[in-house]
Amino acid sequence: MPFSRLPAPLRDALTARGYAAPTAVQQAVLEEGVAGRDLLVSAQTGSGKTVAFGMAVADQLLGPDGSSMGAPGKPRVLVIAPTRELALQVSQELQWLYAQAGARIVPCVGGMDPSRERRSLAQGAHIVVGTPGRLRDHLERGALDLSALTAAVLDEADEMLDMGFRDDLEGILDATPKERRTLLFSATMPKPIVALARRYQRDALTISTVGADRGHGDISYQAVAVAPSDIEHAAVNLLRFHEPDTAMLFCATREAVRTLHARLVERGFHAVALSGEHSQQERNHALQALRDRRARVCVATDVAARGIDLPSLSLVIHVELPRDAEALQHRSGRTGRAGKKGTAVLIVPYPRRRRTEAVLRDARIQCEWVPVPSPDNIAAADRERLLAVLSAPVELDDEDRALGERLLAERSAAEVAAMLVRAHRARLPAPEELLEAPAPGQHRTEGPRAGFDDIAWFRMNLGRRHNADPRWLLPLLCRRGHITKNEIGAIRIGPDETMFQLPRAVASRFIAAVKRTASADPEGELKIEPAGDGPAPLTRSDRPQRAPVKRYAPRPTGRPQRAR
């Protein structure tokens, strides 16, 4: 049996839960020679590490017979997690894992009644799970006695340090017995984690399952390249194309979360938002709406989404790109958990494609570049989903049959079916039309077409050195000048500037709109102005010339003769 090294209560709990084989990190903590040692474990989010450290501390919790835990008293195991949601999730996982052993687990997290937690601690506990701030508060007030502690677990230690909990962690660990075990679980191992391990661990065994879990084998990564102005439209079409049970969209700032959430609700999506500006009560309501399926889309910042576990989450969309490979891993790890498949999609503005590819290489993630789903793609997917829903067997009562017969008496079967299809489609948000841009390497240099007999040239201060490309210049000009792509003629990209042509009939309107939309560029870096007669034809003399090669006469080999 794969869990034969575990005590019987844990084996039975895992079997009842449907565990057939341990994950990589769970297998690592069950290896011979690991029991009783301090552990420094590198494991990704969603790799099953909660159950792993629950297995690892079994020797410190169960008696010699491995079947019972005795009466609750001073806590023997302490688990510290960065967020309230993660701490509660850990508490629930350990509750079922140790249920048959009679474990009493007390969660101590922010946003809960501290007096009730103090009463629970006074009644005794085998395991305490909490967030750093709340645990430190109970410790200083004398409600939490760690003198009998045999093991301390730091879950997602890198995130706790990133969130500024170093002082709280050190204060808690300094109050524990020196002979306790210390288990650090972290997705990454930056220098602060190594320093913390060096200070609080003794001869720690290092375990890394990042190579096995890196990139999350149950997550399919995709990337779509879009014009900067089409990012929001791409997010809408991705949601409509995949139609996930639950989706999480990541933004970089609170303002971006607020804006995108409002736009999605306006379009008909059942969405909630999570960011630092939301209270704990608002967070609770949002998460509950996601769990009971009243909402299917969550727009969140990185920090606000930490510790959230939604079993139905099957799609993660990086609306704004993660800052580095670690952030990409943490975000994407919200899906593809517990053996379920998930999809993570990066929406990449054209100018940032190279940087995104570098981040993907750093994360060692195989990512497929795909086109943004078009309205036709979405309509085709809707048809398949609709046929599947309407073809599924359902139980009909007498009232359903009577109403069906009445409809068939008044309308044909084809009309009734079409009305049913229309009713289903009416509930779906409409997909977005994205701006079409030229394929990579193609420039808008075709000859004159209708309306371009009389043209005006303009220039902007962006060129090849700024990674100028028609794929994002076209949407930029449309947005700033309130024109359409069909009103833009030839585009000539030079080293430091780009020239483009418009029909003279729209030139004055274009310039007026550019002035009005100048606030869209608060730093005033983009300059668009008339270019007179446009670029001069390229002549031979304009082409870069090769520097002349200096030729030297061969050095004389003999001694020069003196002049006579």
pLDDT digits (tens, 9 = 90+) for 222-267: 999 988 878 999 999 999 999 998 999 999 888 999 999 999 998 8
Least confident of 76-80, 111-115, 146-150: 111-115
The DSSP letter of residue 509 is H
pLDDT at 240: 93
All CATH 3.40.50.300 domain ranges in the chain, comma separated: 8-213, 219-376
pLDDT at 214: 45
> Binning pLDDT at 50, 70 and 90, where does residue 541 land?
very low
Least confident of 48-57, 212-221, 283-292: 212-221
pLDDT at 472: 81
Q: Is the dihedral of CA 471, 474, 479, 484 positive or negative?
A: negative
Rounded to an integer, the average pLDDT of 105-130 is: 92
> Binning pLDDT at 50, 70 and 90, where does residue 212 land?
very low
Query: Which tokens is 233 given?
Result: 């439209």
Look at residue 120 and give its three-state secondary structure: helix
Q: For 8-213, give the CATH class.
A: alpha beta
Q: From the CB of residue 161, how many other CB atoms can be counted at a distance below 10 Å?
A: 19
pLDDT at 134 over 80: yes
All CATH 3.30.70.330 domain ranges in the chain, comma separated: 455-535
Most confident of 93-102, 417-426, 444-453: 93-102
Question: Residue 209 contacts by C-beta under 8 Å, 6 or more apart in sequence?
Answer: 23, 24, 25, 28, 41, 42, 43, 44, 47
Which parts of 227-296 fold into alpha helices (H)?
Answer: 231-242, 254-267, 280-291
d(CA 211, CA 240) in angstroms, rounded, equals 34
pLDDT digits (tens, 9 = 90+) for 291-339: 888 999 999 988 777 767 787 889 999 999 988 887 888 788 888 765 6
Rounded to an integer, the average pLDDT of 487-515 is: 89
Q: Are 370 and 223 in contact (CB under 8 A)?
A: yes
Per-residue buried b or exposed e for 366-390, using 16+ beta carbons within 10 Å of the residue's own CB: ebeeeebbbeeebeeebeeeeeeee
Looking at the DSSP bridge assignments, the partners of residue 73 are 125
d(CA 59, CA 66) in angstroms, rounded, equals 8
pLDDT at 549: 43
Query: What CATH number does the domain located at 455-535 have?
Result: 3.30.70.330
Rounded to an integer, the average pLDDT of 525-541 is: 72
pLDDT at 445 over 50: no
Q: What is the average pLDDT score of the chain? A: 83
Among 132, 120, 485, smallest CA distance to 307 is for: 132
Architecture of domain 219-376: 3-Layer(aba) Sandwich (3.40)
pLDDT at 544: 43
68 versus 486: the higher-pLDDT residue is 486
Pairing of strands 219-226, 367-369: parallel
d(CA 522, CA 8) in angstroms, rounded, equals 65
Instruction: State in Å, rounded, how far the first CA of the chain is from the last one.
Output: 107
pLDDT at 534 over 90: no
Q: Are 333 and 265 in contact (CB under 8 A)?
A: no
pLDDT at 414: 86
pLDDT at 345: 95
Strand 105-108: give its sheet, edge to edge.
105-108, 127-130, 77-80, 151-155, 181-186, 39-42, 205-208
